[in-house]
Amino acid sequence: MTPTPASPPEILRAPLVVEFPFTRSLGPVQSAFLTGLRERTVLGVRTEAGDVLVPPVEYDPATAAELRELVEVGATGTVTTWAWNPEPRTGQPLATPFAWVLVRLDGADTALLHALDAPGPEAVRTGLRVRIRWAAERSGAITDIACFEPYESDAPAAEPQLHDGRFTDPVTGIVAPARLDYTYSPGRAQTRYLHALSERRTVGERCPSCAKVYVPPRGACPTCGIATTDQVEVGPRGTVTTYCIVNIKAKNLAIEVPYVYAHIALDGAGLALHGRIAGIPYDQVRMGLRVEPVWSEDGRYPDHYRPTGEPDAEYDTYKEML
Amino acid sequence: MTPHRPARDVAIVAFAQSDHRRRTDELSEVEMVMPVLHEVLRQTGLKTSDIGFTCSGSSDYLAGRAFSFTMALDGVGAWPPISESHVEADGAWALYEAWVKLLTGEADTALVYAYGKSSPGSVRDVLSRQLDPYYLAPLWPDSVALAALQAQALVDAGHTDEPALAAIAGRSRADAAANPHAQLPGARPQGEYVVQPLRTGDCPPVGDGVAAVILAAGDRARELCARPAWIRGMDHRIEAHSLGVRDLTDSPSTRLAAERAGAFERPVDTAELHAPFTSQEVVLTRALGLDDSVRINPSGGALAANPVMAAGLVRLGEAAARIHRGASDRALAHATSGPCLQQNLVAVLEGDPRA
Ligand SMILES: [Zn+2]
């Protein structure tokens, strides 16, 4: 096949969303703290030096000593630093402009990060007295504090009180859902590969040094560490180099088990890609079987590969690609 | 505390970086990394097969894909198998690992590279996922918001004000005009508040970029480089994760790392500080006790180009390159990671005395 110089392709882009529910268990201290929030009770933990840490941690940040002595602190406090956020972002506590604040709750020696609902930056300052605004529905999470709000009061701040940390139906775990949105662009080599697939052709790229043809191409030869340059059309036929029989049905997959998943060295390629084998009983698939791609009507890549009916390839012709 | 003396002389002998750009949609990670790897190897005449140890830094969260570094690894010629490692962190920490490897005597040369392709996602939101998942991450505080809390604490403490921050931004971008790789070269307006008190000008650009260095030990370093940048000491330290526990106006971890790296034994003439926000430069210069005799961020620093995961390695590379070309005799390089300078690495680099 004649190599063609790889031309700069039109850049492909596609949305890529990564979403995951971060499921985490809580230790005794975090469990008590988050359960406490559900019950409108703020707990801190006392260090050996006598400081009260809010939010509490299980180990002293200075000495690494295990901390278990819980105390209840106030729902009012003082802003220790702040930053006005004119454009709230997705997931942040308030949808209207607000101040990020570190708040030292009355009775605590450290500060908690949260949002402060205020009309504008001129209404916020370090030293401002604030109180917790509780969320209407609370589940045992930091978001049970909806936000803080300014609160001037002459009432004396309460001393921290020992607390046994016991609540009925304690929260023992949290799910912190995360979602990040990306725009994926695959780069030059894979863009060329995807463009060719849309024409039902498979192209690899040849390393100018070792002449190996990579398919799918990723832009570099991992042996030589240099860019692959020339596009080479490979296939459409190929040889099964190795395979496995899948017996467990994957979630949301329509394919009936058992089926065969194989490494297929397309003719002209320097390494094998993988694909499903169909059109032959699963227990008759073998190394050396000659196959060709089968495209579904609007498929953007081969749905599967089926036998061509040719004699099997000699082992020596594909042993380097195992 | 007495700084540790390295058991073996190890130097940065070459440094290369990409042009840092807002986006590189046409390039995959490996396509972006490869030209920089070729350039740093070219400077020494080494081939990938000559390198004793390879270490890289990057983050799957930027790419949005698991094990994304394995793709970029194709660019170093990783077949047949090589001695290789990766840190899910800034490349400065990959350099630390490579330095230790060379100190053990298990290798004489090392290739260190790092890359960050921030353009596919929203880096402000992406960085929020490195926060404590119990108390912080559910609130989605973004990287600018956290830096702004630190900036306000500095203003309240009287350590800086908005004009002083603007002057840091102005100096950095003016210096970057002489840096052909910088993303923001030359003067720019301070702009509106992003999160008050930080304005656009106080914040780093978002961009894609790559950096690579080569380390070599002893005589090998002298063969490969006319004036090696000897690593006299290097150390990294971390502070409590919870922001409310820390004094945000200070950076004791930076000071301790600098002390252990030997930075305070003799004055340095240059400091490449990894301060993505103007306010963080205030914290670092105070923590390190740097005065007007020290040239800070002559490259323009992270305010002119901040490829996340590579910007710290760039600081080490820029400091070394200044020694290579004789513009510095003793330089401090610093890298940071995490919110509000949570983790800090300091290296002290020296050139041989000049006749
Ligand atoms: Zn090759």
Decide if A282 contacts A245 (C-beta within 8 A). yes
Q: List per-residue pLDDT tens for chain A, 322 residues long.
A: 445 555 555 788 999 999 989 899 999 999 999 999 999 999 999 999 999 999 999 999 989 999 999 999 999 999 999 999 999 999 999 999 999 999 999 999 999 999 999 999 999 999 999 999 999 999 999 999 999 999 988 777 778 899 999 999 999 999 988 999 999 998 899 999 999 999 999 999 999 999 999 999 989 998 898 999 899 999 899 999 999 999 998 888 888 899 999 999 999 999 999 999 999 999 999 999 999 999 988 888 999 999 999 999 999 999 988 8
User: Count of CB atoms within 10 A of residue B289's CB?
Assistant: 12
Q: Smallest Cβ distance to B135: which of A55, A83, A181?
A: A55
Q: Is A23 helix (H, G, I), strand (E, B) or coil?
A: strand
Please give the single-letter amino acid code of residue B223: E
Query: Is some CB atom of chain B closer than 8 A to the CB atom of A64?
Result: no
A181 sits in which H/E element: strand A173-184
Q: Smallest Cβ distance to B134: which of A112, A115, A174?
A: A174
Q: What is the pLDDT of residue A250?
A: 83
Which residues have CB under 8 Å from B127's CB, separation 6+? B142, B143, B308, B339
Closest-CA residue to A261 (of A305, A317, A212, A195): A305
Contacts of B152 in chain A (CB under 8 A): 81-83, 126
Count of CA atoms in the C-beta half-sphere (13 A) of A23? 0
Distance from CA of A166 to the nearest CA of B (A): 19
Residue in this structure with the two tokens 């290798």, named with its chain if needed: B107
Q: Is B174 helix (H, G, I), strand (E, B) or coil?
A: helix
Please give the single-letter amino acid code of residue B191: G
- Across chain B, where does the E strand assignment appear? 10-17, 53-57, 84-87, 109-117, 193-195, 198-199, 208-217, 229-238, 270-272, 295-296, 330-337, 343-350
A137 is written with which tokens?
């529905």
Tell me, what DSSP letter sits at residue A289?
Answer: -
Residue in this structure with the two tokens 């006598």, named with its chain if needed: A50
Q: Alpha-carbon distance A236 to A249, whole Å?
A: 28
B179 is written with which tokens?
């840096």
ipTM of the complex: 0.94
Count of CA atoms in the C-beta half-sphere (13 A) of B256? 11
Closest-CA residue to B127 (of B59, B51, B187): B59
Closest-CA residue to A23 (of A172, A151, A123): A172
Decide if A147 contacts A93 (C-beta within 8 A). yes
Per residue in B298-345, pLDDT (tens digit) is 999 999 999 999 999 999 999 999 999 999 999 999 999 999 999 999
Query: Is some CB atom of chain B closer than 8 A to the CB atom of A110?
Result: yes
User: Count of CB atoms within 10 A of residue B264's CB?
Assistant: 16
Contacts of A16 in chain B (CB under 8 A): 64, 120
Q: Alpha-carbon distance B336 to B201, whole Å?
A: 20
Decide if A129 contacts A116 (C-beta within 8 A). no
Q: What is the pLDDT of residue A2?
A: 47
Q: Is A71 helix (H, G, I), strand (E, B) or coil?
A: strand
Read off the pTM.
0.94
Q: Is B110 helix (H, G, I), strand (E, B) or coil?
A: strand
Q: What is the pLDDT of residue B80?
A: 85
Phi and psi, residue B276, nearest 5°: -60, -25
Decide if B11 contacts B230 (C-beta within 8 A). yes
Distance from CA of B296 to the nearest CA of A (A): 27
Q: What is the pLDDT of residue B4?
A: 63
Q: Is A125 helix (H, G, I), strand (E, B) or coil?
A: coil
Q: What is the pLDDT of residue A9?
A: 59
Cβ A113–B136 below 8 Å, yes or no?
yes
Chunked mean pLDDT (size 10), chain B, 355 residues: 74 98 92 96 95 96 87 85 94 98 96 96 94 95 97 98 98 97 95 98 97 97 97 97 95 98 97 98 98 97 98 98 98 97 98 87
How far away, in angstroms, is A221 Cα from ligand 1 center?
5
Please give the single-letter amino acid code of residue A199: E
Cβ B73–A222 below 8 Å, yes or no?
yes
Tell me, what DSSP letter sits at residue A280?
Answer: S
Q: Alpha-carbon distance B209 to A191, whole Å?
A: 21
Tell me, what DSSP letter sits at residue B129?
Answer: T
